[in-house]
Chain A
């Protein structure tokens, strides 16, 4: 398997002086293409912080961050926006979908925002993805009219829209009941198997963590296991 991304000696400090919080303290980690990894650790250990840095939504205080041969610490906002759009998909715990848009419109957003319009090809792929996540009967629904589990499945479909190499999921099932959580995880596994998409999923759920090939444990700002 080829190397997809690597971070090394990553530090992240919030605030300054006495109020400074050292969240990451020289963390190093690499992910290979097609990996399915769970990110574990106690609350406040820095899982979300690490995911936002890996997702290029935030820069580390120091350290190196490479992905697909690109130095992402050196890149500017415009380049990072473009990179994120092409290579990284996100699934968050809350605030995932645009409420005034339909399921389909949400799914094709990453392609439409790049093309400047909603192309027929994008619509076709969006539909295909919604069918894939089992929501063919909800394609034209306003997202506010979907259940929590359905919303997360739409979010997974959207994360896959531009066929990214990496999908970062921050407690994607944290808000769901057991059955819905299982559904979402099954979907993620299926996609990982079929398309070789790399997943990094932060979770507090032992069962979900156990279902992944690899478990990465973060504690005291370092990878401890």
Chain B
């Protein structure tokens, strides 16, 4: 149908101003579509990176072993044996678990940790803190400690402690000073302040301290094992699946971050729905615009359609000519809108450099191809009604006018 294409193109180029207007109308719709995609996508990215970017995506916590219960054959409870003294729950055999977990695809980092509570003292001042022991050299595996350091370094040697800015201010500390950390197990260690971080999260900055894993072993009297394993993934959304895999592989109770994050997921979902809604409206606008413009053109060209029919053009040919016009307008408007959308998104900061206060537009989530494809499909659908009207033109009436 090369010839139908030629006629469609001629019709479009014959009324340049009208075609230009129509194409710009479509382009604006596509532009809005792309802007919405980039904004909704970027916003979701931004919110996720702010809320879960710095936390573990899959966590394995040690369970405190239930005291054994002895039951006799007839079902009478004989005795409940309680744990003799308070003991931190541990995951033993970390050495075997960690390499095994690391084989699961999509895992970026595995961080075995020992967590507990303690008191930090400097002179007469005392602060209650939560203590986390991290592997030396992998301090930033989960929380990007290194990125948040404002003084000193994140490097945890033995005898080094890193803590938050609010805590440092409360205790009037500076890097290089010596402090005492007493664990809930009653063990005291003398530590040097190696670095101060500021995450912007109050709880972390006010009451978290990080020490090396060996230091934590001493503090919490744990010669072997850890209290939890934190895992970071390449893809946040794969947490549920990955947790299941780890569970199946190790039998450990791996919990994805999405457990307990239902509200966040709901909010993101609602936001995505709003996006679909607006994008649908952009598409409907395009369809109505194309349909009305082509319907007008059908009306204006009635005599010509009559002549073509009299000269032996079939109804299918007429339909093809008008549908092709719609498709061309859609393609042209789609590509123009997508290009403009891309150019308009260029000045926005990249997704890993989002700054609060500006719109978190993600240029990589513009859905350019989808926008163009949907626009072409929409324009073709929009041209079916005018095309059918054109095919129904009665040549006798059209020529007799």
Q: Tell me if B399 and A95 are in contact (CB < 8 A).
A: yes
Find chain A residues with CB under 8 A from B2 CB: 116-117
Of A48, A78, A101, the residue contacting B10 (CB under 8 A) is: A101
CA distance A49 to B401 in the complex (A): 14
CB contacts under 8 Å to A, within B310-369, are: 310-315, 317
Partner of B312, one of A85, A92, A101: A85
With the chains together, A96 CA to B311 CA distance in Å? 11
A118 interface residue (CB < 8 Å to B): yes
Q: Point out the residues of chain B lying under 8 angstroms from A116, CB to CB.
A: 1-4
Asked if A172 is an interface residue, CB under 8 A from chain B, the answer is no
On whether the beta carbons of A90 and B3 are closer than 8 Å, the reply is no
Q: How distant is the Cα of A6 from the Cα of B9 in the complex, in angstroms?
A: 41
Contact B309 A52 (CB under 8 A): no
Q: Does A58 lie at the interface of the complex (its beta carbon under 8 Å from any beta carbon of B)?
A: yes
The one of A57, A94, A114, A115 in contact with B310, judged by C-beta atoms closer than 8 angstroms, is A57
Q: Tell whether B308 is near chain A: CB-to-CB under 8 Å.
A: yes
CA–CA, A115 and B10, complex, Å: 18
Q: Is the CB of B310 within 8 A of A84?
A: yes
- Interface 1/0 per residue, A22-57 and B, CB below 8 Å: 000000000000000000000000001000100101
Of the listed stretches B71-79, B184-192, B299-307, B376-384, chain A binds B299-307
Complex Cα–Cα for A114 and B308 (A): 11
A147: chain B residues at CB < 8 Å are: none
With CB as the reference atom, state the residue of chain A lying closest to B5: A117
B185 to chain A, nearest CB (A): 88
Contacts of B6 on A, CB cut-off 8 Å? 117-118
Q: Which chain A residues in 93-136 approach chain B with CB under 8 Å? A: 94-101, 109-110, 112-118
Q: How many residues of B contact A (CB 8 A)?
A: 27
The answer to whether A113 and B10 have CB atoms under 8 Å apart is: no
Q: How far is the CA of A99 from the CA of B10 in the complex (A)?
A: 11
Cβ contact within 8 Å between B307 and A95: yes
- Are A113 and B396 within 8 A (Cβ)? no
Does any Cβ of B come within 8 Å of A82's Cβ?
A: yes
User: Which residues of chain A are within 8 angstroms of B315 by Cβ–Cβ distance?
Assistant: 77, 81
CB distance from B311 to the nearest CB of A (A): 5
Residues of B within 8 A of A52 (CB): 396
Please measure, in the bound complex, the distance between the C-alpha atom of A117 and the C-alpha atom of B6, giving whole angstroms: 9
Q: Does A65 contact B (CB under 8 A)?
A: no
Contact partner of B317 (CB less than 8 A), chosen from A55, A95, A113, is A113
Q: Chain A residues in contact with chain B, CB under 8 A? A: 48, 52, 55, 57-58, 77-78, 81-82, 84-86, 90, 92, 94-101, 109-110, 112-118, 158, 162
B interface residues, Cβ below 8 angstroms from A: 1-4, 6, 10-11, 14, 303-304, 306-315, 317, 395-396, 398-401
Q: Which 6 A-B pairs have the closest CB atoms?
A: A85-B312, A100-B14, A95-B303, A117-B2, A81-B314, A110-B311
25 pairs, CB–CB < 8 Å, chain A vs chain B = A55-B310, A57-B309, A58-B396, A78-B314, A81-B309, A81-B312, A84-B310, A85-B312, A94-B303, A94-B401, A95-B307, A95-B398, A95-B401, A99-B14, A100-B10, A109-B308, A110-B312, A113-B308, A113-B317, A115-B3, A116-B3, A117-B2, A117-B6, A118-B3, A118-B6
